[in-house]
Chains A and B, each alone.
Chain A
Amino acid sequence: AQKVTQAQTEISVVEKEDVTLDCVYETRDTTYYLFWYKQPPSGELVFLIRRNSFDEQNEISGRYSWNFQKSTSSFNFTITASQVVDSAVYFCALIGAGSYQLTFGKGTKLSVIP
Chain B
Amino acid sequence: EAQVTQNPRYLITVTGKKLTVTCSQNMNHEYMSWYRQDPGLGLRQIYYSMNVEVTDKGDVPEGYKVSRKEKRNFPLILESPSPNQTSLYFCASSLDPGQGYEQYFGPGTRLTVT
Q: Give min CB distance, A85 to chain B, whole Å.
A: 19
Interface bracket on B: 20 to 34
B90: chain A residues at CB < 8 Å are 45
- Residue B67 interfacial (CB < 8 Å): no
Q: A50-B100, A91-B43 are in contact. Are A45 and B105 (CB under 8 A)?
A: yes
Main secondary structure of the interface of B (DSSP, over half): strand
- Residue A35 interfacial (CB < 8 Å): yes
CA distance A105 to B100 in the complex (A): 17
- Residue A95 interfacial (CB < 8 Å): yes
* Contact residue among A43, A52, A95 (Cβ-Cβ distance under 8 Å from B97): A95
Q: Give min CB distance, A94 to chain B, whole Å.
A: 11
CA distance A43 to B88 in the complex (A): 9
- Residue A97 interfacial (CB < 8 Å): yes
B41: chain A residues at CB < 8 Å are 106
Contact status B43-A100, CB under 8 Å:
no
Q: Give min CB distance, A77 to chain B, whole Å.
A: 15
* Contact residue among B45, B56, B104, B108 (Cβ-Cβ distance under 8 Å from A102): B45
Closest 3 CB pairs of A and B: A106-B42, A45-B105, A33-B100
Q: Pull 25 A–B residue pairs with CB atoms less than 8 Å apart, ordered by A.
A: A35-B102, A43-B108, A44-B105, A45-B92, A47-B102, A47-B103, A47-B104, A50-B102, A52-B100, A91-B42, A91-B43, A95-B97, A96-B98, A97-B99, A99-B98, A100-B33, A100-B48, A100-B56, A100-B97, A101-B59, A102-B33, A104-B42, A104-B43, A104-B44, A106-B40
A sample of 11 more A-B contacts (CB under 8 A), given A95-B100, A98-B98, is A33-B100, A45-B92, A50-B100, A52-B100, A91-B43, A95-B97, A97-B98, A99-B98, A102-B33, A102-B103, A104-B43
Interface residues of B (CB under 8 A from A): 31, 33, 35, 40-45, 48, 50, 56, 58-59, 88, 90, 92, 97-100, 102-105, 107-108
